[in-house]
Amino acid sequence: MKKTLTFDQRCHALLAQIPKGRVSTYRELAHALGSKAYRAVGQAMNRNPNLMKVPCHRVIKSNGEIGGYALGADKKRELLLEEGIQVETNGRIRLSKYLHPYST
């Protein structure tokens, strides 16, 4: 039995901690892992970890923009609205209000 958890897997783990109606950013996520692999974090999502298991749609850019999504950024925006997350007319999200604070 080995863990050898890949960077991606660790991202999924943190992602799973994000409650509904809350979001996180690629930067925060990477920072929580003690890395600056902002890009790698996104990679983990794009590789479709488990859309049913990991709330990939709750991860946005550090500047508040929606960012991308494997199923389309538009779809992602819908999901976020479903979560009760308001999106500014400029297509941005107020991080100061929805950003999930990690325990670490």
Question: Mind telling me the catalytic residues?
Answer: 56
- Opening angle at CA 86, ends 80 and 91, nearest 5: 85
Q: In angstroms, what is the minimal distance from the CB of 84 to DNA?
A: 19
Give the H or E element holding residue 41.
helix 38-46
Contacts of 103 (CB under 8 A, 6+ apart): none
Contact map string, positions 33 to 72, toward DNA, x by CB under 7 A:
--xxxxxxxxxxxxxx-------xx-x-xxx-x-xxxx--
Helix (H, G, I), strand (E, B) or coil at 92: strand
* Interaction of residue 27 with DNA, rule CB under 7 A: yes
Residues at the contact surface with DNA, assessed by CB under 7 A: 6-8, 25-27, 35-48, 56-57, 59, 61-63, 65, 67-70, 76, 90
